[in-house]
Amino acid sequence: MKITSTIRAALVGLLALVAFSTASRAESGSVTLTIYKAGWVIGGSGGSGVLDFRGRRYGLSTGGLDYGLVFGGSKTVLHGRVSNIRRPSDVAGVYAAAGAGLTVGRGARGIILTNQKGAVLELTGRQVGLMANIDLSGLAITLK
């Protein structure tokens, strides 16, 4: 019985060590995105951006769909950080969000998103235009 407990404790310790070392290799970078959005009930968005990671710059493309109460058009410029990535391609993927907002002229915007690879985007910025929305949205980011 005592040997089984010792083996079990050793395995748990080994798994914890592997999990910690894998998580510690994840890095972060900075992201800037410019997104144009327009719609009436169903909306669409598209844009571009830049990922700064390990001293290099990578071009990004964005596109997405919104469904719900969507009215108007806007331009949003977001800056922030991406964390939990090991390589630039980890930023690529689909990010889903539910949101609400109203912009008449200029407004502030902040959002935290996660993709299927575990990359976390923490972005803030300015939105310009006339936009009212309560919607579900999806944003796809690809490397250029």
The CATH number of the domain holding residue 58 is 2.40.128
Whether the CB-CB separation of 89 and 141 falls below 8 Å is answered with no
Average pLDDT over the chain, rounded to whole? 83
Residue 26: the pLDDT is 85
Residue 7: the pLDDT is 53
**Global confidence as pTM:** 0.76
Look up residue 4 and give its two tokens. 């089984």
Q: Please report whether residue 56 resides in a domain.
A: yes
Residue 22: the pLDDT is 46
pLDDT digits (tens, 9 = 90+) for 73-92: 999 999 999 999 999 999 99
Q: Which residues pair with 126 in a beta bridge?
A: 77, 108
Q: Please report whether residue 1 resides in a domain.
A: no
For the chain, what percent of residues have pLDDT higher than 70?
Answer: 81
List strands edge to edge, sheet with 27-53.
Answer: 27-53, 56-85, 120-143, 93-114
Q: Please report whether residue 103 resides in a domain.
A: yes
Q: Please report whether residue 20 resides in a domain.
A: no
Q: Please report whether residue 2 resides in a domain.
A: no
Q: Please report whether residue 10 resides in a domain.
A: no
Residue 30: the pLDDT is 97
Residue 2: the pLDDT is 54
The answer, yes or no, to whether residue 46 has pLDDT greater than 90, is yes
Residue 118: the pLDDT is 94
Q: How many domains does one find in the chain? A: 1
Q: Please report whether residue 114 resides in a domain.
A: yes
pLDDT digits (tens, 9 = 90+) for 9-27: 544 455 444 444 444 578 9
The answer, yes or no, to whether residue 31 has pLDDT greater than 60, is yes
DSSP assigned state of 26: -
Q: Which domain holds residue 34?
A: 27-143
